[in-house]
Structure 1
Amino acid sequence: MATITYRNASCIYEGSDKLAVDSLDLDIDDGEFVVLVGPSGSGKSTALRMLAGLEDVDSGSIEIGGRDVVAVPSKDRDIAMVFQNYALYPNMTVAENMGFGLKLRRVSADERRRKVREAAKLLDLTEYLDRKPAKLSGGQRQRVAMGRAIVREPQVFCMDEPLSNLDAKLRVQTRTQIAGLQRRLGVTTVYVTHDQVEAMTMGDRTAVLRDGKLQQFASPGELYSKPANVFVAGFIGSPAMNIATLPITPDGVRFGDGSTLALERNQLTLLHEAGLDEVTIGIRPEQLEIDPSGGVEVVVDLVEDLGSEVYVYAHSGSGTPLVARSNSGEAPKPSHTVRLRKRPEGVVHLFEPQTGERITCRAESGS
């Protein structure tokens, strides 16, 4: 096991004038499970490949266990990689696939068999050790790929979207197995995904990247409740947070049709002190409710009934899209006009309209 440190680590691909990873700073604790998440082209896979030695670090440094590994060949970094495609040898059995890396390292046959059996037991693969990959399901093949990494007993696991090729049910099952396995093994793990559900449910902390730059590095709970900027606010959470830039009134913010969304008194004071005429607000769908007594008037566009919960997609008179969560029996019909208001316990997030950065209230900053 080992700590991992990215210090101003950057990478640029040949022929490009834009950094794929731009001055990345991360401090990953020993035994921690960290997820790198972001949209396509955000630099998350490049950052992982820089750690694994598969991409050059053009500036800055990366340390594993306190040792700078920028000039260290990939094979000498004591890491194990699990890829999106299983990369199994079709002519080898499960046991042979799992032990092949050890064989290349000239580990004795008895030691290889012992380590393969132990990993197979962890992964519920014992009964499949004599099968070829063609006789396995997608989830089983991915577990074999993980087993091949586990028998190496590395300092660091690098996982590059390992669940992307699985169907929805298998993704949930394998996601749980990977997270549970990492907890038992205690190996420092860096996991790349574009799936925010994986990011929110698997990692101890999650790094959100955009255009090669780190946006926020925090626990899933903090990402959800205190997003650092508008991008994180809109990217984390499904359905996405409602975000709009609106003029400030004495009581809150005003939509184009004249309806008002009320803000807390300390938020209004903060906005007044900042001298802002308008502000970008964000509010989660579950923190809005349908209430005929007041709030923002909207026209319902779509009702998404998921069984346990219902999401109402609508737009205000000024065209601002809004999403609210509703109880199944109370959901309105499309084209109906309803009113949305913030639930009593709901939170409205404030962002600087020019930079998109979070405006922090005194209660949050601890001052």
Structure 2
Amino acid sequence: MDYTTPLLGSSGTFLPVKGNTMATVSFDKATRTYPGSEIPAVSELEISIEDGEFLVLVGPSGCGKSTSLRMLAGLEDVNSGTIHIGDRDVTHLPPKDRDIAMVFQNYALYPHMTVADNMGFALKIAGVPKAEIRQKVEDAAKILDLTEYLGRKPKALSGGQRQRVAMGRAIVREPQVFLMDEPLSNLDAKLRVQTRTQIAGLQRRLGVTTVYVTHDQVEAMTMGDRVAVLKDGLLQQVATPREMYDKPANLFVAGFIGSPAMNLVEVPIIDGGVKFGNSVVPVERDALAAAADRGDRTVTVGVRPEHFDLANGDAPAGKTLSTEKDDTPAGLPVTVNVVEELGADAYVYGTANVGDDDQDLVVRVPGRAVPEKGSTMHIVPRPGETHVFATSTGARLSD
């Protein structure tokens, strides 16, 4: 068997990885429409995943992310388009012939088997010699810190330990591709953070191409080399976490990625920029020209909570902003409703009157300069930190 340089596990063990296990994955206009439905669950999905890449599919419930994963696994039919793993067209191959390993949300462990038997079961079915199975299971158990639990049954394990057993079962098969369908959903908040770090680190050590499905955008942003956002079966954007945070492709991605979410405010276009309360916020000429070409009189401005400055007397030293008139505060007045104090920082949740409507906004402020509940503060977007979208279509207008 052809092996590359062995990988050193967290407990000092070496796990051999086949030199030909890594593979690209590509969806080429892959579409899935369920019987009796006229609307595709996934429509013309186009994604290319590189060797050893960790790609996260993320989106709200019903967006098509799990269906996409199941299409790749061979558990859902592909009505049109193709799916390739490496150079092979696997569109219509059965799951057993795709050389993939899947980790499910509910772990899918056999309750009557020990941890060792669960991890080695697929190899046993494949006719792998017992000695080889034992060695692979022991190597994987050392990497996952499961050695002392190999003789236990799943009911004697915690949720996090069961999840590691499911991971170990996938690792021992040395597949070309790992598929993970919301594997952390059943864990409590603290364990989710710990386990996602373990999974991301393990994937980087093993270097196996991985497609990971989650509805949690924080999980997506912290784990993935790239993130693919889906909505209603349509791919919205594929990018690195940083690119997606800095330049969301449309209003949906802008509002979905980020915690707390980006503030999105519809504002009128005026000479030199857009009207933001009592201030004029400069906007790229190309963005305004694109809006004008559509006949739009307003655009939707997106601002991250950390990208507001406090205006006038609300501002810390050196941050005071000018006003239109001496007696008129600059910026947009926001009534403070709730303050989340996090130590170094605080998030202020407030309400502002924008046009004829009240709108909820979130602003991050220094932890030692927290406004009082019920007070009014005036905010202005930081220059160069605004995102401009077409209100009518949601498309990004700014570079």
Task: State the identity %.
Answer: 63
Structure 1 segment 34-73 matched on structure 2, within 5 A: 34-73=55-94
Q: How does 1:326-345 map onto structure 2 within 5 Å?
A: 326-344=365-383
With 37-46 and 85-94 compared, the bigger mean Cα shift is at 85-94
Contact preservation (8 Å) 1:243, 1:283: yes
| 2:38 match: secondary structure | coil
Are the equivalent residues in 2 in contact too, given 1:204–1:219 (CA < 8 A)?
Answer: yes
Query: What do residues 209-235 of structure 1 show as CA deviations (whole Å, max 9, x unaligned)?
Result: 000000000000000000000000000
Q: Secondary structure at the match of 1:303?
A: strand
Matched with 1:316 is 352
CA distance in 2, matches of 1:331, 1:290: 11
SS in 1 for 2:71: helix
Could you say if the C-alpha distance between residues 181 and 214 of structure 1 is closer, same or farther in structure 2, counting changes exceeding 3 Å? same
Between stretches 352-361 and 91-100, larger displacement belongs to: 352-361
Shift of 1:127: 1.2
CA-to-partner distance for each residue in 1:34-83, whole Å, 9 max, x for gaps? 00000000000000000000000011000001211112101110000000
- 4+ aligned runs moved over 6 Å, structure 1: none
| Cα distance between partner residues in 1 of 2:280 and 2:220 | 31
How far did 1:270 drift? Answer: 4.0
Report the 3-state secondary structure (helix = DSSP H, G, I; strand = E; otherwise coil) of the residue aligned with 2:39: coil
Q: Distance in 2 between matches of 1:158 and 1:40?
A: 18
Give the CA deviation at 1:309. Answer: 2.2
Which residue of 311, 315, 333 maps to 1:291? 311
In structure 2, the partner of 1:105 is 126
Match of 1:364 in 2: none
Separation in structure 1 between the aligned mates of residue 228 and residue 37 of structure 2, nearest angstrom: 24
The residue matched to 2:34 in structure 1 has which SS? coil
8 Å contact 1:35–1:190 — kept in the other structure? yes
Contact 2:344 2:368 in 1 (8 A): no
Q: Structure 2 CA distance, aligned partners of 1:24 and 1:111?
A: 39
Distance 1:204 1:332, change over 3 A: same
Partner amino acid, structure 2, of 1:59: S
* AA at the equivalent of 1:48: L
- Counterpart in the other structure of 1:263: 282
How many residue pairs get aligned? The number is: 356
The one of 41, 45, 49 equivalent to 1:24 is 45
Alignment-derived partner of residue 123 in structure 1: 144
Does structure 1 residue 84 correspond to structure 2 residue 105?
A: yes
Give 2:395's aligned residue.
Answer: 357
Corresponding letter in the other structure for 2:302: G
Query: CA offsets per residue over residues 117-150 of structure 1, 9 Å max, x none?
Result: 1110111111111111111111010000000000
Query: Per-residue CA shift, 1:324-359, capped at 9, x if unaligned?
Result: 101122111222111112235x51001112111111
Q: Distance in 2 between matches of 1:137 and 1:5?
A: 36
Partner residue, 2:171: 150
1:281 equivalent in structure 2: 301
CA RMSD of aligned residues (A): 1.4
Secondary structure at the counterpart of residue 109 of structure 2: coil
Counterpart position of 1:250: 271
